[in-house]
Amino acid sequence: MYCVRAITNDVYWVGANDHRLHLFENIHPIPRGVSYNAYVLLDKATVLFDTVDWSVCRQFLENVEHVLNGRDLDYLVINHMEPDHCASMEEIILRYPKVKIISTEKSFMLMRQFGFRIDNQDLIEVKEGDTQCFGKHTVTYVAAPMVHWPEAMVTLDLTDGILFSADAFGSFIALDGRLFADEVNFDRDWIDEARRYYTNIVGKYGPHVQHLLGKAATVLDKIKYICPLHGPVWRSDFPYLLDKYTHWSTYDPEEKGVLIVYASMYGNTESAAQILASRLCEKGITNIRVCDVSNTHVSELISETFKYSHLVLASVTYNLGIYPVMLDFLEHMKALHVQKRTVAIIENGSWAVKSGDLMQKFMDDNLQDMTILNERVSMASALHEDKQQEMEQLAQALADSLQNLEQS
Ligand code: FEO
């Protein structure tokens, strides 16, 4: 049975939700599921914008068939050919063999590389600024390289102001009936998963996202709907969404606050992290998140790192190196180009306290524009009374830095 929703009189969501997949891209947990969005335009010609992941193909095909209501499918526009959106295109070709496929040169190259059989179809290669009329609706194609793969583009329906935005403005979480962002409490219930999606999937490509935002700014008054490939469709609150994307893509923190990430084997480094959190609260710094690096998925740590202005790394020394899970977090920060953060260090070790210098060296060597505070708490096995002053100095340095941020 079909499960579709109307966006306008002639554009329909024909995607589907997935609650079965545990790991998106086989790496990121998605406990609240994900949606794969695709859209049909009914005009003089019929047009399908993108397909869906293989896992939800059957539902998707029923949806497309229902919306077409006996009509043939004339065009398939592939904005992004990554298999979570493109895997079902051969099923579309089988059912609608006359369909013409519209995409970029790189996209067709990648389709062949993945083994998708497209070469019996009419292939229409488009590039930046090309326009096409489907009847009442005229669309223009806009290149969006590295948002999130090199072949990506977005399509703007100039007639009704609908931006088919590919991975841009997407989110984890299954829609479960809701389609529009204004049908959920996005800032309360969705923003953390939207940030986790953006930062881990597209986070590395901030300058490319900035470039796309620059192009969107020139036509913003024409955009009435933003239709991404995951998560809800936006038809209001664009300034809120664009503000989030501007922060994330420029690596500017969203909030003044402190993320404390600790790596602890026997609870002593954890105790130091908790004591620091208490000292900060006593100084009026209450926007704090404390995370155990061993029990918090790295995708969440990355997301929180993009959110907060200040980061405290508290790590035990392990085999004379950085605790492996903490090192993994640092490697993810490097891979995703985390930058512009103020960092404080707490280090621990029982016979050699090495982790502080090693974490500092990792950041100096690999991360851009990080300010590492001179104040450091260095502990041997456990935190004792004689470290009161070091802890106080560290808390005060963080408080002063936060205050300077408020004044700047
Ligand atoms: Fe949801 Fe880059 O694919």
Q: How far is the CA of 83 from the centre of ligand 1 (A)?
A: 8
Are residue 232 and residue 333 in the same domain, yes or no?
no
* 234 in the same domain as 85: yes
Q: Are residues 233 and 262 in the same domain?
A: no
Q: State whether 41 and 169 are in the same domain.
A: yes
Q: Each residue of 211-239: pLDDT tens digit?
A: 999 999 999 999 999 999 999 999 999 99
| pTM value > 0.75 | yes
Residue 407 lies inside a defined structural domain of this protein: no
C-alpha distances in Å from residue 196, one per residue of 29, 180, 203, 242, 255:
10, 19, 9, 16, 15
Quote the pLDDT of residue 253: 97
> Which CATH number fits the domain that encloses residue 191?
3.60.15.10
In tens, the pLDDT along 14-59 reads: 999 999 999 999 999 999 999 999 999 999 999 999 999 999 999 9
CA of 85 to the centre of ligand 1 (A): 7
CA distance 347 to 83: 43
DSSP string of 156-184? EETTTTEEEEETTT--SS--TT--BGGGS
Place of tokens 């959106």: 85
Q: Which two tokens stand for residue 16?
A: 């589907």
pLDDT of residue 340: 97
In a domain, 366, yes or no: yes
Q: Which atom of ligand 1 is nearest to the CA of 202?
A: 2
Composition of the chain by helix, strand, coil, percent to 5 = 40, 25, 35
What is the structure's pLDDT at 166?
Answer: 97
Q: Which atom of ligand 1 is nearest to the CA of 148?
A: 2
Q: Are residues 379 and 289 in the same domain?
A: yes
Q: Is 52 helix (H, G, I), strand (E, B) or coil?
A: coil
Pick the last residue of a domain from 212, 232, 250.
250
Of 223, 250, 277, the last residue of a domain is 250
Q: Whose CA is nearest to atom 2 of ligand 1?
A: 148
Query: What letter would DSSP give residue 386?
Result: G
Task: Please state the atom number of ligand 1 nearest to the C-alpha of residue 230.
Answer: 1
Asked whether residue 406 is assigned to any structural domain, the reply reads: no
245 and 188, same structural domain? yes
Q: What is the CATH number of the domain that holds 386?
A: 3.40.50.360
Amino acid at 77: V
User: Which string of DSSP letters, residue by residue, matches 335-372?
Assistant: HTT-BS-EEEEEEEESS---HHHHHHHHHHHH-BS-EE
In a domain, 110, yes or no: yes
Same domain, 216 and 271: no
C-alpha of residue 111 to centroid of ligand 1, in Å:
14
Predicted pLDDT of residue 321: 97
CA of residue 53 to ligand 1 center, whole Å: 10
Kindly give the number of the ligand 1 atom that is closest to the alpha carbon of 152: 2
Query: Which of 206, 222, 250 is where one domain is finished?
Result: 250
Q: Give yes or no: residues 209 and 262 share one domain.
A: no
Domain match, 235 and 261 both: no
C-alpha 362, offset from chain centre: 24
Q: In this structure, are 216 and 304 located in the same domain?
A: no
Contacts of 296 (CB under 8 A, 6+ apart): 261
Statement to judge: residues 221 and 269 lie in one domain: no
Q: 269, 368, 254: which is closest to 313 by C-alpha?
A: 269
Q: Are 206 and 337 in contact (CB under 8 A)?
A: yes
Instruction: Give the tokens for residue 252.
Output: 């500017």
How many domains are contained in the chain?
A: 2
Which atom of ligand 1 is nearest to 201's Cα? Answer: 2
Q: Residue of the nearest CA to atom 3 in ligand 1?
A: 82
Let me know if residue 79 belongs to a domain: yes
Q: Please answer whether residues 32 and 197 qualify as being in contact, where contact means their C-beta atoms are separated by less than 8 angstroms.
A: no
Q: Strand locations in 9-161, DSSP E?
A: 11-13, 16-18, 23-24, 28-29, 34-36, 39-42, 46-49, 75-77, 100-103, 123-125, 131-133, 138-143, 153-157
In whole angstroms, what is the distance from residue 30 CA to residue 86 CA? 20
Domain that holds residue 364: 255-401
According to DSSP, the β-strands at 138-143 and 153-157 are antiparallel
Query: How would you write the pLDDT of the chain (408 residues) with one tens digit per residue?
Result: 999 999 999 999 999 999 999 999 999 999 999 999 999 999 999 999 999 999 999 999 999 999 999 999 999 999 999 999 999 999 999 999 999 999 999 999 999 999 999 999 999 999 999 999 999 999 999 999 999 899 999 999 999 999 999 999 999 999 999 999 999 999 999 999 999 999 999 999 999 999 999 999 999 999 999 999 999 999 999 999 999 999 999 999 999 999 999 999 999 999 999 999 999 999 999 999 999 999 999 999 999 999 999 999 999 999 999 999 999 999 999 999 999 999 999 999 999 999 999 999 999 999 999 999 999 999 999 999 999 999 999 999 999 999 998 777
Q: What is the pLDDT of residue 123?
A: 98
Ligand 1: residues with CB < 6 A are 80, 82, 84-85, 148-149, 167, 229-230
Smallest CA-to-CA distance from 28 within 172, 146, 206 is with: 172
Residue whose entry in the numeric block shows the structure tokens 């029990």: 295
- CA dist 408 and 405 (Å) reads 5
**How far is ligand 1, taken at its centre, from the CA of residue 166, in Å?**
8
Distance 184 CA to ligand 1 centre (A): 23
Structural domain includes residue 113 = yes
Closest CA to 305 of 167, 201, 173, 203: 203
Domain-embedded: residue 128: yes
The predicted structure's pLDDT at residue 407 = 74
If asked whether residues 342 and 386 sit together in one domain, one would say yes
Output the CA 390–ligand 1 centroid distance in Å.
46
Query: What's the rounded Cα separation, in Å, for the pair 301 and 364?
Result: 20
Residue 279 included in any domain: yes
